Amino acid sequence: MDVLIQELEKMNIGKVKRNELLAHHTTIKIGGPTDLFIEPSSVENLMATMEFIKKHKLNWRAIGRGSNLLVSDKGIEGAVVKLGSGINHLEINGTEILVGAGYSLVSLSTLISRKGLSGLEFASGIPGSVGGAVYMNAGAHGSDISKILTKAHILFEDGTMEWLSNEEMGFSYRTSILQKERPGIVVEAVFQLKEGDREAIVAQMQKNKDYRKDTQPWNYPCAGSIFRNPLPNYAGKLIEVAGLKGFSIGGAKISELHGNFIVNAGNATAGDVLSLIQHVKDTIYSLYQVKMETEVEIIGRK
């Protein structure tokens, strides 16, 4: 591993660390170490990073701001590639924007709203990056990424880059083609927005932010919604009616504010969270014969 670190440092591609705790890079503040942690300083260096990974046949995983992610206490084998400040470019051309995957979704929606552009109001409280949002088709308040994305620039494991259209991204509820069929890294995205009344857009943004503040436990470390809504039911409502709000295992606790959030109430481990997830699944199925599926992505060593 030392040889790999030295090779990466000579490449001068950005931040490189060994045995970096992923707890420092997830919103729930949980996660063991990764063998290699790389944060490329540009799109070109991201491509060089993937060439390095391919050359050395390393397992890899890309992350953004670490929301919607639960990393094993044993960490992640191989390399974790973080898309951050080096890949957060933004170009605004009328109602069309080109944005780097590392750009904060909250920051982007705030900036765009102030310019009188509509379409990103739903994202005002989603604490992820643009890349992560495209990867999982993030959404809220009746809208999602698939409603505004024109195309996404994807870097695949073999080093090739390709623009995929909205249709080619295979969007569905909180998923895209990148999660299973064609694993790859979102490098940048093009969104088609609409001109609107600036004051009305900003007001709607604030309304969405206030709603999330009032109904979701962002004062504790959390990963966002844990379960997909088993439509026509809603995960949070089922959990609440089952009397599970406030139930805890170790340092992990079901939020008393919203049933579909598990918070790190103090030194929680991934094991605590997984045990709590299983308890919810068992309870809801026993009571309502509804199978709960996780929305949060669970990764890392078993």
The residues carrying an active-site annotation are 174, 225, 295
Joined together, the tokens standing for residue 31 give 């996660």
CB 170 within 8 A of CB 152: no
Find out whether 145 and 133 touch, Cβ atoms under 8 Å.
yes
What does the alpha-carbon distance between residue 130 and residue 191 come to, in Å, rounded to a whole number? 11
Q: Which residues lie below 8 Å from residue 206, measured CB to CB, with a gap of 6+? A: 124
| 100 sits in which H/E element | strand 96-100
Q: How far apart are CA 231 and CA 248, in angstroms?
A: 26
Sort residue 5 into left (φ over 0), alpha (ψ -120 to 50) or beta: alpha
| Nearest-10 crossing angle of helices 105-114, 198-215 | 150
Separation of CA 161 from chain center: 21
The dihedral region occupied by 161, where left means phi > 0, alpha psi between -120 and 50, and beta the remainder, is beta
Nearest alpha-carbon partner for 141 in 123, 156, 159: 123
Residue in the block written with tokens 């900036």: 111
